Chain A
Amino acid sequence: MRISNPSGESAKIIGKSHRALSSKASLWSVCVWLLCLVIALPIIVIFASIFFPSEDVWQHLIDTVLGIYISNSLLLMTGVSIGVLSVGILPAWLVTFYRFPGRSILEWALLMPLAIPAYIIAYTYTGLLDVAGPLQSLLRESFDIRYGDYWFPEVRSLLGAIVMLSLVFYPYVYLLARAAFLEQSASALEAARSLGCSPFKAFTQVGLPLARPAIVVGLSIALMETLADYGTVQYFGIPTFTTGIYRTFNGLGSSVGATQLAALLMVFVLSLLLLEGYSRRKSAVFEAVYRRPASRERLRGGRLVLCYFVCVAPVVFGFVIPFGQLAAWALLTFENIFNASFFQLSLNSLILAFLTAFFALMLALFVTYAKRLFGGFLNETAIKILSLGYAIPGVVIGLGVLIPFAWLDNEISTFTLKNFNFNMGLILSGSIFILIFAYLVRFLPIAINSVDSGLAKIKPSMDEAGRSMGRTPLTMLRRIHIPILRGSLLTAVLLVFVDVLKELPATLLLRPFNFNTLAVRTYELANEERLAEAAVPALTIVLVSIIPVILLSKSMAKSNYRNDEIIRA
């Protein structure tokens, strides 16, 4: 063996391994970016359509529907903003800073409406409050009056849609507001109280301003969901962007018009994304350096009653009533519904959800591990691009996926017909392949987020320890990271699984002919005014959707526990 002098045999070894390392890094990067390009394809397709404007389409849109789509979407956003803010913030404040019997139950129960998809709550309340519904029937019987003799609020209206969406989206505001309140230093609030502020004034002057950026993050998520909603506005007959895109594409068969509308909707979505990003950065600034959670004050008398009203009403209207109604209908109709076809569509949903969750997990592991191994600006940017999907409405993704895949199918068929005299048919756009792809675009960010935050908790020295013992990165992933990450991986799979199960608009647009899922069947039955029968598939979706809410409340309990420990120390 030579002593040193960097030439000769050992120098060759170095050169080789060094090149090997950097070429491996670039290979991973290339793969990550390829994935990025594929996943971003629908967004690119939609935005590219802006550069190929067709004047007649625009003129036609402006002349006819554009004004009403914009004004309805704006009204809906304004209404839902007012709704989620007024329903979501106060309970968060109360459960964080006050003590009352049942507080810890309400803390997680306030999340329960998240388990109910917006279109399902809309169907349920329509069934409850419609002319033929139990409430109006009771009213007519008790007072012996006929329809038209009395005033009753119309559920299927813009206001009705605002209420429905607020009832299921307020938990986003609640969740982020609660986290922000918990992070606030108790001393800031105690200082305000010692300077003569009443509890309410301390809330409005100190607590609320400090939590504002976090609340805006919650609000922007709720608004993105509002813009993405298709089932509710479609059922209530409110013309908005999502229903407009679907109608233009499916009813009028104009893909140009539909993409132009989708691009315009994306402008709304992007401004919400910017607002969210800006508020997230700002809320990081407000985070207290020194944290000691406030001791909780006991509530008594009139205030306690008021507090119960504020905290219990959202749970009752957002979960208990619709859940109870669904359960009652399901009991009435399950005999007709529980048959082979129901199991077939459950199986369809299950397969789609499972396959998507599996692929999402694999891809998420791949990109986050690439980031961990090689870091760097490129990989981080790729992850940011891959995370865009969650903000984009399902209708838009459906459209953005369908156009390139239909084109590709066409090309493939032409090619095979010409060369092999064989028609491949719609091999991509006519199969569940396209559905899974669209789901991945929309829900991959969820998987990436949970895997990434799980990986971040494993110290880098753990990797170095393994590598110093002669293990390659892939062995480390298999033997160390995956076993330690089990919890995060399971969470990622469950979250994607449930979101796929609930997804409606993209499924409607992309499903193969005669291929039904639980969500689509719920939609179909509701639109045939067979609401009671829709309850069985709807209830199935809701029951499965409770799983992520339980996961969420568990992680909430953990953060509470930590705080309690701090108090004891």
Chain B
Amino acid sequence: MTKSLELREVCVHLGGNPIVNAVSFGLHQGAIGCLLGASGCGKTTLLRAVAGFEPLTGGEISLRGAVVSDPRGMLAIEKRRVGMVFQDHSLFPHLTVSQNIGFGLEGWAKSASVKRIEEIASLLEIDDYLFEYPHRMSGGQQQRVAIARAMAPRPDVLLLDEPFSSLDVELREQLAREIRTVLKTEGITAVLVSHNQFEAFAMADEVGVLKEGRLLQWDSPFNLYHTPASLEVADFVGEGVLIKGVVRNDHVVETELGQIDTREIEDFRLPGTERISLLLRPDDVFHDDESLVKAKIVDKAFRGAVFLYTLELESGTRILSLAPSHHDHGIGEPMGIRLDIEHLVAFPSN
């Protein structure tokens, strides 16, 4: 099946500096992808290259199987059928919400255009504001208008540049989930750019982690979290610590927290060295008063239903543990812990 969007070895230079380096990924019709990375990693530049604002210095970008950008040229953005949602909304201040949404519908029959505006506005729950001007609306509502405006002409691909960064933290994830539902309803392929992993996980089917212009991993949020392909990805996605381990035989790894039988863990692969590092997530370490393994509590953070404890082992290694918040222990106290690992990643250690 032809992919809706396909990038092959895409390179972009800005002012002579390499910003995006040999990035490849693809999205099927209706899939939502997210480019995740710290600021300056090249994710926005990559998105702008897909939109047709930045020329490529290498590789190619195809939309619905047709090449639209390569180092020799690019199809003008107005001919690409991509929608773009900007970080700062960029609504036209002199047009009403309805006129803003209808801006891309020129050439449509009047009745079809009115119907489409009403349809998309009701999907995004802004149908009460159709005749207001953007400046009278809250930031969240403005962002809904911006998304409605970009989606109205039914683009092949919708591109969203940090669409929620100007909103309150509580609003972000809620709106991200809502937008995901709307995109799924309309069956629009979308690429989101974000530096916030929770936003990415709430919205995307597939997430790519970018660092210094390189794509480190392109995978589902679940796999990114549980089976990161490299230390860098593990470090960027989610919380966790690395503990040292020594491989005793083909299935036993010895750690400070006891022996781990890797046969019990699905899809586990040893990296092939004797000394390894294991990525331990807070949800792998359980509180167990009966356990013989004890660790000292050095810090704790209340998170409502759970505490996130920072624990120190005898060797000085620190690990994280999530415990139900009714297990309230004080800082400095010892706490019994037990490993219960479903997913584990090992990296070679030096």
Contact = CB atoms under 8 A, between A and B. Distances in A.
B104 interface: yes
A468 B153 CA distance: 10
Nearest to A9: B66
Given A3-B62, A462-B90, A484-B93, A470 B75 contact: no
B336 to A, nearest CB: 52
B8 A4 contact: yes
A483 B100 CA distance: 14
A453 B39 CA distance: 30
B327 interface: no
Contacts of A479: 103
B73 A14 contact: yes
Contacts of A14: 67-70, 72-75
B53 interface: yes
Given A470-B104, A483-B94, A464 B84 contact: yes
B314 interface: no
Interface string A452-482: 0000000101101111111110000001100
Interface stretch (A15-23, A32-40, A140-148): A15-23
A5 B65 CA distance: 10
Interface in B54-70: 60, 62, 64-70
B90 A3 contact: no
A470 B67 contact: no
A466 B86 CA distance: 11
Contacts of A464: 51, 53, 77, 84, 86, 90
Given A2-B65, A10-B66, A17 B51 contact: no
Contact of B72 (A1, A15, A459, A469): A15
Contact of B90 (A5, A19, A465, A472): A465
A468 B84 contact: yes
A65 interface: no
B90 A6 contact: no
A270 B134 CA distance: 48
A468 B160 CA distance: 12
Given A1-B66, A3-B2, A14-B75, A469 B83 contact: yes
A13 interface: yes
A407 B82 CA distance: 56
Interface size class of A (residues with CB under 8 A): 20 to 34
A30 interface: no
Contacts of B307: none
Nearest to A473: B78
B79 interface: yes
Interface size class of B (residues with CB under 8 A): 35 or more
A283 to B, nearest CB: 28
A19 B75 CA distance: 10
B88 interface: yes
Contacts of A18: 72-74
B206 interface: no
A13 B86 contact: no
B294 interface: no
A467 B90 contact: no
Nearest to A465: B90
A4 B93 CA distance: 40
B29 to A, nearest CB: 13
Contacts of A424: none
A472 B68 CA distance: 18
Residue of A1, A18, A19, A480 with highest tally of chain B CB at under 10 A: A18
Residue of B60, B66, B153 with highest tally of chain A CB at under 10 A: B66
A21 B77 CA distance: 11
Contacts of B72: 6, 11, 14-15, 18
Interface string A325-352: 0000000000000000000000000000
A539 to B, nearest CB: 38
26 contacts: A1-B65, A4-B8, A4-B62, A6-B60, A6-B67, A14-B68, A14-B69, A14-B73, A17-B79, A18-B73, A18-B74, A459-B90, A461-B87, A461-B88, A461-B90, A464-B51, A465-B84, A465-B149, A465-B150, A466-B92, A468-B159, A469-B150, A470-B104, A470-B153, A480-B92, A484-B94
Given A3-B2, A17-B79, A468-B159, 20 more contacts: A1-B2, A1-B64, A1-B66, A3-B65, A4-B8, A4-B60, A4-B67, A10-B66, A14-B67, A18-B73, A462-B92, A465-B149, A466-B103, A468-B82, A469-B78, A470-B78, A470-B79, A479-B103, A480-B92, A484-B93
